[in-house]
Structure 1
Amino acid sequence: MSNILVLNAGSSNVKFAAFRAGAALHETARGKVEGTGAAAVVEQLERSGALRDLAGVGHRLVHGGPRHTAPALVTPELMVELEELKALDPTHLPAELELIEAVAARCPGVPQVACFDTGFHRDLPAIARTLPIPRRYLEQGVRRYGFHGLSYEYLLAELERIAGAEAAHGRVIFAHLGSGSSLAAVRNGTCVDTTMGFTPTGGLVMGTRSGDLDPGVLVHLMRSEGLGAEQIDALINRESGLRGLSGTSSDLRFLLANEDKDPRAAEAVAVYCYQVRKWIGAMAAALGGLDTLVFSGGIGENAPEIRARICAGLSFFGVQLATQANAAGAPVVSARIAPVVVRVIPTDEELTIARAAQRLLPATPPAEGTREWSTRSRTPC
């Protein structure tokens, strides 16, 4: 058994990738399974052949809480602890845990590894992670955690590979821009601040998420419209952002294509670019300057017009794009004379998870009765 399967569960689908284990992981398959029911997802994965010859399975878990900051083998004890964290992340964690259990039932004895999106931000300084609320809530784990950490871990490693240790340990801002968008400020290889906070809803405006919002707005809506918790959750996570601003779509490509004839689409694009630019300034302040800016994610990698609009207002602290390089999506899109190097680096969360899983997988399959998380099944993988 030599395959590592990676499962990246989202709100409406599960992305998967398969890798042949070895000194250098070799990707053999990648795809997406639509649907949210864990059992149905596992059935589709089985039909696709993704469950064959498994050495292990790695999972992206959005939230690890204050304790779980490094990848870990899934055990009964870990599952109990993660069940207790559901209140911190009711949107993602329940479905992610159900998927782990479904895989265990289908593939008994196959080790599973949990990789936490919050882990990259584990060393956030107290001033960056602390929320200005009564301390009794801080003691309950209500604080800024940060997300997209598996993407940032990959990007930091790639930056060091292609540009060297000096660049990777300088003052770097990573911009993971997609349907979910965030920035991370990294100095000496450590995250010192990030835009997302207690949940992935915070920070930048996103496809359907509001980003940071005056809490008084929510209090007003609760009073004026009688909105409850579930309605507020739907409002800020599924009805806001680019979709809410434009009234038509959360897809930035669609909005760009229609901005000349639709003022709401144009405004949505302008708000997005403005907020990214503003947050880059904030992250640069947290770093005490800026050496490297990295664009990644579906928007960051593939939308040169958005990169240009974001960077157009940043020349005052050394960001200047090379027009032709940016239009072509070159690896380096900054002008040669610019003090700040601007790069485009495609991210790969699944490879990050596969690497972590391979490091933690036992050299031999676990014996009957060991404490790796598994349940019996009539059909072993």
Structure 2
Amino acid sequence: MRGLVGRWQTWAGFALAAVVLFGVAPALLSSFRLGLLGQYLCYAIVAAGIGLAWGRGGMLTLGQGVFFGLGAYMMGMHLKIADAEVRKQAVPDFMQIAGIPALPSYWEPFASSAFTLAAIVVVPTGIAALLGLGVFKRRVKGAYFAILSQALAAALAILLVGQATLGGSNGLNGFRTFFGFKLSDPVNRQMLYFIAAGTLLVVVAVVRQLMQSRYGELLVAVRDGEERVRFLGYDPANIKVVAYTAAALFASIAGALFAPIIGFITPAQVGVVPSIAFLIGVAIGGRTTLLGPILGAIGVAWAQTAFSERFPSGWTYAQGLLFIVVVGFFPAGFAGIGALFRRRRRTKADATPSGEPDPLSESEPVGAAP
């Protein structure tokens, strides 16, 4: 009976989210604000993967900007080639300015939309799987893994800045079409938002299934007692690699959607600072829950936009202060506040003897004799 109730609650939650994302938001928000919400949903997709890898698996992933950037740049390469073909030009506009007469060889496969979509899925997951096997098989974990992942994000950003064929520090920008649809058309931009919203719901469903499966139980067991899991005959490295690879896949898909929604992608959006920003949203929302990372990422991104519009120089300090407060006083994030109150209520109820009145809930009537 409890399982049936939980299943209905899950379906009701997804239905409510679909109504809000596909009905209420497009009806109430302007085209500009809807585009901003689309960006926030991309951040939420990344956060869902971090919640799985960090919240359930204990892997502090400080380098998700790597996979986010891979997906964004691969999508940007395809969009720039498509724009050049529409204009009947041999190379994209920025290559003409840089004096590059022909497409580099590694650009040519991205003229195919099928290859691009496949690469967005295969390349980041392959890199994450190889990296994860190399790191976790050597039992690298904790702060060492976090530093390594952050170093990869910094290395990718530095590499992209030095690549003239990828736009250098300016990155790829000025996208005009998306698989044949003009991005200047508000209807097509709304379509991009719907794609991001639908992708987020699918990712949440996948993460929920992983968390509630036997694999999810093993992942939590690895986080809490890796040596015990190894003693039981499981290889913790393989369990970690699956979560790390899934998080990389979600980040790559989010990056691929982010590039056409925002209209550009630069090295500054894939380095160390964006990777830490992803993590802050997850920590504030509540990394061990399903919806905490998602709501935290959306809330932090919205707050950044709102505060930056009014206090351009103060948001960084406010973000840092918020992160310190959450880590110092609410380690489980805002999602853990409700659980804390419920735990205290249960403790108070258990402390009250059955059959006796609770002195905290009942008091003597006014005017009663002592």
Short-chain TM bin: under 0.3
Higher Cα Rg, which structure: 2
Which one has more relative contact order, counting CA pairs under 8 Å at least 6 apart? 2
Q: TM-score, normalised by structure 2?
A: 0.23
Q: TM-score, normalised by structure 1?
A: 0.23
Higher percent of residues as strand = 1
Higher percent of residues as helix = 2
